[in-house]
Amino acid sequence: MTIVTNSRASDHRPDHHASAGTPHYRGSGMGRQVLVLSGRSLRALGDPALIVPGLLEPILMLTVFSQVFKSVAQASSFPAGVSYIDYLLPAFLISSAVSAGLKSGVALTTELGNGIIARFHAMPIRSASILIGRNIADTALSGVNLLVMLTAGALVFGFDPAGGLLGTAGALLIAVMLSWSLGWVFMAMAGWLRRPEAMQPIGGIVNLVLMFASNAFVPVDSLPGWLRAFASVNPMSHAISAARDLTLGEGGFSSVLAPCGLCAVIVLVSAPLAVRSFRRAG
């Protein structure tokens, strides 16, 4: 009798007792693992106490900011013929996408702390499958939240951009791609920080600084010089500009291709780092 051991069961090499010549159990394929784990993450979010606040938060923020900053539309630097809600909503799509990416990291740190991940490591499950499943579920939920925001914007706030349905769909695609890519960035951070109480404030500060030091609420030309310089290089400003140009009918195919390509590059860099930090954390 031979005992085959390996400390990394999560890497698809479980410990099993087997006779010589007997094939070892390798578990299900990676595609099946991702499908099951994605479904598990979505079912875990089935509690209305978790879903409803996530749906209401961006709508409440949109209500407040659309009223507080409404007078900005009267400034000379504001685009002529554009209502403030048409200007603001694309920025909220991008900001909500960043927040959704952060939630992936927070959820992962929570599961690292409550023992769920340790149980997964004792099963024939690949580390990458766990992270991909988490990311797919969170990106899907983010897409639903963004659709709810757009629907509320159209029905309640009068969102009716010149770019029409096609331009709005392009802006939505950019936001979903951003949520998907930043989910990997924050999951890489989660494997390093390991605690939600550390992950939440760091991600929140990053989102807050990037959003308010950008062109989300007012044109960059309206900002003080030092803030204008930062907003001009702020990656959130560029994502907002791409989404806004599409909704306002001023952007073309390149407005979608460039940010989506950048998101793909972010994933190519951050996904291996996320898997590596996740294995160490487990």
Report long-range pairs for 197-201 (Cβ below 8 Å, ≥24 apart): 198/109, 199/102, 199/105, 199/106, 199/109, 200/102, 200/106
The answer as to whether 8 is a domain residue is: no
pLDDT in tens, 82-93: 899 999 999 999
CB 54 within 8 A of CB 179: no
Q: What is the pTM of this model?
A: 0.82
Residues 6+ apart with CB under 8 A from 264: 177, 181
Euclidean distance between CA atoms 42 and 40, whole angstroms = 5
For residue 179, which of 139, 149, 128 has the smallest C-alpha distance? 139
Terminal CA-CA length for the chain: 30
CB 90 within 8 A of CB 243: yes
The answer as to whether 5 is a domain residue is: no
Q: Which DSSP category does 18 fall into?
A: E
The answer as to whether 20 is a domain residue is: no
Task: Give residue 24's pLDDT.
Answer: 52
The answer as to whether 21 is a domain residue is: no
**For the chain, what is the mean pLDDT?**
83
Task: Give residue 164's pLDDT.
Answer: 92
The residue behind tokens 């005992």 is 3
Q: Which of 44-53, 145-154, 228-237 has the lowest mean pLDDT?
A: 44-53
Taking residues 259-269, what's their average pLDDT?
A: 92
Residue 129 clears pLDDT 70, i.e. is over it: yes
**Range of 214's domain?**
28-281
pLDDT in tens, 10-67: 444 444 444 445 455 566 777 888 888 888 777 766 667 667 777 787 788 888 888 8
Task: Give residue 6's pLDDT.
Answer: 42
The answer as to whether 122 is a domain residue is: yes
Q: Which of 55-59, 91-95, 118-122, 199-203 has the highest mean pLDDT?
A: 91-95
The answer as to whether 67 is a domain residue is: yes
Cα dist from 271 to 102, 132, 166, 210, 259, whole Å: 15, 9, 31, 22, 18
The residue behind tokens 């989300």 is 216
Question: What is the number of domains present in the chain?
Answer: 1
- Would you call 4 helix, strand, or coil by DSSP? strand
The answer as to whether 144 is a domain residue is: yes
